[in-house]
Amino acid sequence: MPQGLSSTREIPETGSIPKHIAIIMDGNGRWAQTRYMPRIAGHKQGVETVRGIIKSCIERNIPYLTLFAFSSENWRRPTDEVTSLMQLFLGALEQEISRLHENGICFKVIGELSKFEPKIIECIRIGEQLTAENKRLTFTIAANYGGRWDIMQAVRKMMAQSTELPLNFEEENLAQYLALSYAPEPDLFIRTGGEYRISNFLLWQLAYTELYFTDTLWPDFDEHELERAIQSYQQRERRFGCTSEQIQVAG
């Protein structure tokens, strides 16, 4: 779906290959625990999985990939785990940014970044600036992100732009301030790890996204698992509120 279009206002063009895939990467800790390893070992293995999924998306000509790395609620986890996750995040940023750039990938981070330490914020900004003009794949990490936070911050930005607009605004007036406004709404949402919820992820953007849940833990989610998800997506009839007959005539 072209940028700026809303699936609740217009019927988007769709194809057999999703243009935008959004993933909740769940199951890292459980993957490690079943192997009698510390939970952080599962998160480290999860980084390897991210590399593989990026490669698979490029091979399938999928232009947008968004991964939920750390939610605004994840700060509630044990302090030592949060600290380890922040160290892992910083290390991944320092190691991967140049590789993403070399492969023509545009890197972005969405979320309330002010809670991160300055070094992490600096790495994010450097990575976004370095890769800004790359077109091969737009790879977004959602970090300290929450869907409700996203809508609230968009409302605040919109109100700051005009004192009159909030009295009579339309969907498109607000949508331009959402954190993911540069990307089309996701066609396919994937959650690994056997949980069946969206956990405050992209609440606005997932309005008509096809949902796919798998018991596979994130470190085990490879290109074959991705292909299964895409095949499931290809079997769906996306009607966007219309009847099957209307969609067939339009097609």
CA 9 to chain centre: 22
Task: Select which of 26, 144, 150, 187 is catalytic.
Answer: 26
Q: Is residue 96 left, alpha or beta, with left meaning phi > 0 and alpha meaning psi from -120 to 50?
A: alpha
Give the CA count within 13 Å in the CB-facing half-sphere of 37: 14
173 is catalytic: no
In this structure, which amino acid lies at residue 78? P
Residue 157's nearest CA partner among 165, 207, 122 is 165
Cα separation, 218 vs 24, whole angstroms: 9
Task: Select which of 74, 103, 173, 200 is catalytic.
Answer: 74
In this structure, which amino acid lies at residue 154? A
74 is catalytic: yes
Longest dimension (CA), the chain: 59
DSSP state of 242: S
Cα separation, 200 vs 75, whole angstroms: 14
Task: Please give the positions annotated as active site.
Answer: 26, 74
